[in-house]
């Protein structure tokens, strides 16, 4: 049950003094190059996968707080809002929840939430978390928990976000430092759909752990989150309903499903009948990989000189497997709010500039994925350079991770022509910068992938890339009937080279039985790791991921024997005869509509097929007594 209620929150007036230390500057010939040290909880910043979902921002003022910290400002003056946060404490038995939508199958391995305990220092005090994922609104009829529970502690780490939660009336307060609270989990695989996540936290202070709401300047309504107090759920409202910022990490599992699923009752005799299931192969070999050298942990920022470029590069020996691919996006750990410029080069010593693009509006102190404004084709015979230019060196903009002994991963230039290494300045670090290549330019094709190590250049540079060469290996057919509603694997159909259209007849059925079928595609990558697609969509009813077949003797109900299509095969015309036809739809095996028309109790329809390409076509005929699907073939 959800009703309007006064949210549970915590206020505190403790004062905290935060001391900031200057970064260590290293003199090096003509420049002043340095790293700005920062406190980092490494477990909380590990990035081995993609950001699958980000529910919204909470920082409203980058660098406007004490010592250059960020601020999340409660708009109590301009919007009349009251609550800095909303209680989600284990001790208090409060929970908070929000929803997220999965467009393709996801494999989830981490969650980030943003929480404070009033009165804490910038040293994290949050040390517990439990979490549940629901397939609907929590505790509503029909909703079920699909992962997690309300008691298992899955807390992994917490780290200060370098942000304080303040208000317009008290902008200098430092009693609510916001922590990023992370739970790393074993892979959770979820199919497309709308889900809800509910969570609660524990900490070492007496103040209740509270989540920061999504905060956008000028907006008093930011989402549809809920809070549980006692046994009931209530809308989280502060003038308007609020949302909760959280991030889901993992990887999308985009193994393409089969297409044009059809199910037909076939009856030859009293001893020979069944359900014929047909579909199209949507196979292919795809390449989609992140190329990088870092270990996913950002530990520092490099700066000091006013302007410079930092870069990673990949040699021809590392690009051999990527012929025909293009660079379509990059991933960068962004440290400042000032705009920088992305530059893509090719050739020895970054000889040829291929692409430039402004990097602006990125979250501060966070990984960001940036789509290129236009894709860049990769010439595997030349070096590929991913570089970032900045004129904001005083603020240490270049994010770097731990040293990985990768000479191709720590390149830096102060004049755009001469390239040096961070190790030349006694800095053992690797840039937190990545490149995404795919042979599906123009669309997102990200397949399940795992990190590998490939051969590097002559100076022993290693390439770490999430490999995802994947080829289709077969199809799984699942079935259930109206007695047992759980889909059970019926059989596996192997791929036949050169075949694009498949049919399977299920003879293990009973007359009068009603059966539902789903078909998925199976893929194997170069590491023999298997990926199973989501079910194919129905050709006739594209909102369904199944087909339904009623097994009859061909006479009952739809009077299938009375539906005639001739000649079959055909070259110029096809005649369709039946009783009381009201609608006819013709599609090809790609699911494309080639003909449809509405009638009133028609008995005979002649189709002109002279312009039809050779192949199989599906006819859906709706009559006063029901619907039947049949096929005919066009030959040339």
* C-alpha to C-alpha distances, 320 to 248, 448, 567, nearest whole angstrom: 33, 21, 53
Burial code (b: 16+ CB inside 10 Å, e: under 16) for 311-347 equals bbbbbeebbebbeebbbbbbbbbbbbbbebebbbbbe
pLDDT of residue 562: 66
CA max distance for the chain = 92
pLDDT greater than 80 at residue 14: no
Find all residues with CB under 8 Å of 387, minimum gap 6, and list them.
309, 310, 311, 342, 343, 344, 345, 350, 411, 413
Tens of pLDDT, residues 208-260: 999 999 999 999 999 999 999 999 999 999 999 999 999 999 987 767 888 88
pLDDT of residue 357: 94
What percentage of the chain exceeds 90 in pLDDT? 47
Instruction: Report the range of poorest mean pLDDT among 44-48, 492-496, 563-567.
Output: 44-48
DSSP single-letter state for residue 10: -
3-class SS at 423?
helix
Q: Which CATH architecture has domain 259-285+470-550?
A: Sandwich (2.60)
Confidence of residue 171 (pLDDT cuts 50, 70, 90): very high
Confidence of residue 287 (pLDDT cuts 50, 70, 90): low
- Residue identified by tokens 């997220």 is 100
Q: What span, in angstroms and rounded, lies between the C-alpha atoms of 329 and 61?
A: 27
Rg for the chain, CA atoms, rounded: 30
Instruction: Report the range of poorest mean pLDDT among 21-35, 243-257, 521-535, 579-593.
Output: 21-35
Beta strands 70-74 and 157-167 are: parallel
pLDDT of residue 321: 75
Confidence of residue 439 (pLDDT cuts 50, 70, 90): low
DSSP single-letter state for residue 306: S
- Quick check: do 259-285+470-550 and 288-467 share a fold? no
CA angle, 255 then 259 then 264, to 5°: 135
Q: What span, in angstroms and rounded, lies between the C-alpha atoms of 352 and 570?
A: 58
DSSP single-letter state for residue 212: P
Omega within 30 of 0 (cis) for the link into 569: yes
Listed residue (29, 49, 202) closest to 111, CA to CA: 49
3-class SS at 461?
coil
Q: What span, in angstroms and rounded, lies between the C-alpha atoms of 457 and 452?
A: 16
Domain ranges of the chain: 2-10+38-252, 259-285+470-550, 288-467, 560-634
CATH class of 288-467: mainly beta
Q: What span, in angstroms and rounded, lies between the C-alpha atoms of 509 and 45?
A: 54
Q: What span, in angstroms and rounded, lies between the C-alpha atoms of 471 and 337?
A: 42
- The residue-averaged pLDDT of 21-32 equals 29
pLDDT of residue 435: 92
Contact 401, 372 (CB under 8 A): no
Confidence of residue 482 (pLDDT cuts 50, 70, 90): low
Listed residue (239, 268, 167, 278) closest to 631, CA to CA: 278
Tens of pLDDT, residues 519-575: 999 887 655 667 788 899 888 778 888 998 888 775 444 445 567 888 877 888 999
- The residue-averaged pLDDT of 596-623 equals 86
What's the CATH code, domain 560-634? 2.60.40.3080
pLDDT of residue 472: 81
Contact 221, 497 (CB under 8 A): no
pTM: 0.48
Q: What is the mean pLDDT of the chain?
A: 81
Q: What span, in angstroms and rounded, lies between the C-alpha atoms of 420 and 424?
A: 7
Q: What span, in angstroms and rounded, lies between the C-alpha atoms of 102 and 466?
A: 22
Confidence of residue 446 (pLDDT cuts 50, 70, 90): very low
Instruction: Report the range of poorest mean pLDDT among 308-317, 330-339, 548-557.
Output: 548-557
The DSSP result for 525-567, as a single string, is ETT--EEEPPPPPBSSSTT-SSEEEE---SSSTT-GGG-EEES
Residue 324 phi/psi, 5-degree rounding, is 85, 5
């Amino acid at each position: 049950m959800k009703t309007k209620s006064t949210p549970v929150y915590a206020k505190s007036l403790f004062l905290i003094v935060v001391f900031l230390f200057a970064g260590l500057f290293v003199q090096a010939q003509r420049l002043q190059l340095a790293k700005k040290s920062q406190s980092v909880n490494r477990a909380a910043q590990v990035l081995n996968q993609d950001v699958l979902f980000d529910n919204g921002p909470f920082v409203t003022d980058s660098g406007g707080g004490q010592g250059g910290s960020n601020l999340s400002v409660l708009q109590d003056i301009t919007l009349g809002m009251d609550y800095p946060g909303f209680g989600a404490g284990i001790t208090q038995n409060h929970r908070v929840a929000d929803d997220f939508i999965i467009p393709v199958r996801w494999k989830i391995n981490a969650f980030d939430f943003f929480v404070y305990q009033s009165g804490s220092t910038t040293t994290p005090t949050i040390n517990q978390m439990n979490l549940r994922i629901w397939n609907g609104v929590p505790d509503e009829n029909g909703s079920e928990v699909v992962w997690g529970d309300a008691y298992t502690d899955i807390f992994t780490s917490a780290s200060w976000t370098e942000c304080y939660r303040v208000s317009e009336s008290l902008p200098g307060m430092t009693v609510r430092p916001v922590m990023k609270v992370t739970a790393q989990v074993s892979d959770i695989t979820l199919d497309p759909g709308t889900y809800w996540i509910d969570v609660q936290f524990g900490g070492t202070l007496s103040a209740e752990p509270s989540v920061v709401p999504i905060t956008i300047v000028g907006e008093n309504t930011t989402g549809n989150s809920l809070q549980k107090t006692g046994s009931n759920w209530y809308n989280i409202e502060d003038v308007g309903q609020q949302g909760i910022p959280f991030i889901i990490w993992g990887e999308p599992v985009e193994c393409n499903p089969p297409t044009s699923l059809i199910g037909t009752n076939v009856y030859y005799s009293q001893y020979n009948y069944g359900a014929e299931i047909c579909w199209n192969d949507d196979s292919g070999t795809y390449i989609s990989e992140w190329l990088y050298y870092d270990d996913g942990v950002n530990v520092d920022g490099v700066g000091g000189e006013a302007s410079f470029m930092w870069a990673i590069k990949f040699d021809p020996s590392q690009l051999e497997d990527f012929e025909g691919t293009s660079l379509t996006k990059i991933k960068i750990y962004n440290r400042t709010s000032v705009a920088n410029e992305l530059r893509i080069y090719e050739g020895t010593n970054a000889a040829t500039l291929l692409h430039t693009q402004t990097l602006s509006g990125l979250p501060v102190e966070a990984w960001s994925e940036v789509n290129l404004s236009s894709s860049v084709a990769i010439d595997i015979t030349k070096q590929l350079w991913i570089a970032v230019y900045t004129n904001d060196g005083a603020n240490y903009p270049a994010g770097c991770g731990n040293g990985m002994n990768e000479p191709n991963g720590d390149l830096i230039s102060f004049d755009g022509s001469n390239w040096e290494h961070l190790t030349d300045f006694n800095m053992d670090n690797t840039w937190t910068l990545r490149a995404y290549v795919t042979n599906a330019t123009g669309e997102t094709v990200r397949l399940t992938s795992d990190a590998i190590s490939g051969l590097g250049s002559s100076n022993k540079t290693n390439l770490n890339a999430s490999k995802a060469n994947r080829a289709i290996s077969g199809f799984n057919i699942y079935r259930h009937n109206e007695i047992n509603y759980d889909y059970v694997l019926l059989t596996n159909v192997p791929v036949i080279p050169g075949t694009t259209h498949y049919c399977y007849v299920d003879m293990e059925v009973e007359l009068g039985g009603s059966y539902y079928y789903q078909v998925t595609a199976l893929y194997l990558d170069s590491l023999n790791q298997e990926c199973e697609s989501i079910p194919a969509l129905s050709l006739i009813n594209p909102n369904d991921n199944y087909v339904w077949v009623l097994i009859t003797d061909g006479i009952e109900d739809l009077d299938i024997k009375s539906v005639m299509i001739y000649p079959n095969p055909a070259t110029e015309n096809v005649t369709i005869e039946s009783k009381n036809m009201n609608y006819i739809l013709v599609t090809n095996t790609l699911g494309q509509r080639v003909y449809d028309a509405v009638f009133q109790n028609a008995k005979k329809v002649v189709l002109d097929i002279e312009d039809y390409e050779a192949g199989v076509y599906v006819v859906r005929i709706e009559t006063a007594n029901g619907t039947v699907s049949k096929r005919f073939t066009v030959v040339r």
